[in-house]
Amino acid sequence: MATTTIATTASNAAVTREIVTCESFQRLNALLEKKRRLVARIESLPAEITRAHDTVGALQAEATGAEIGLADAEKKPAPIDFERHEAALAALAKREVEAELLERGLRARLNALEEQVTVTDEEISVECRIVGTDAADIANKVLDALATELEVSLAPVRAVYAKIVALTDIVPIRSVQDFRISAHLSDPRRSFMHYFPHCGGSDDAPNLLQVETAQTEAAKAAVHAAMKPVAEALRAMHSHVRYVHLDKRPQPYRVKSEVVTESGPRGRFAGETVVR
């Protein structure tokens, strides 16, 4: 038992050495974070554009009201301070121009950011393929380490298997004959082959390799812990969803209604009103 524990610990350390956080994992996470920030900024712009647009409308209405007020004042006998009115109108016009520039700038920024998100999506797609390749390479290296561990672990099993073969060479035992055919790591006392016509057979006895113990659970936990960077990178890769421009997103369904009134000639029932 002590020898097995030492060998397992050494193997886990070897597996851990194979798990290195690849640069592609880091690049993918950086690109996903970049996209998250871009999308957050994009989705905040429509409200700012609406406020700027409303400001332009309000200033235009205020300027129109001032013009109307000046026209009404000219009809009155009281003197008019034209210089003050002109200064007020000029100030309103300046604020209106600034608001229009702000609105146009926000719309241009929205378009530019959406183009940048499209470019970032392409970069993420490329990096996802690299991550998939790197993850597969790491998994193959880990598999090589585990295959080596399996080879070492099978040494005592092969010795026991040779003893069983030697025993059945001396005294033939039907269950052991089936066991030798299946090589299934089942209990040799319980092996029972199920044969299929023209295509061999299979051992229906429980497979001892599938028996769960504290040692197997610890081994699985060690692999899960060692493979965590790969699993996180793959989750990040599979969670990536391409950005959809705001103007291409599905809009809320709006019910459009119209009232149709029909009426018949005198002597008939009046037509009914249909609301669609």
Nearest to 89 by CA among 78, 106, 73: 73
Of residues 191 and 111, the one with the higher pLDDT is 111
Give the integer Cα–Cα distance in Å for 146 and 154. 12
State pTM to two decimals.
Answer: 0.68
193-232 pLDDT, tens digit per residue, is 788 887 777 878 887 767 788 888 888 888 888 888 888 9
Give the integer Cα–Cα distance in Å for 104 and 39. 20
49-87 pLDDT, tens digit per residue, is 999 999 888 888 888 877 777 666 666 666 666 677 777
63 membership: H or E segment, kind and range: helix 23-74
Give the integer Cα–Cα distance in Å for 167 and 189. 13
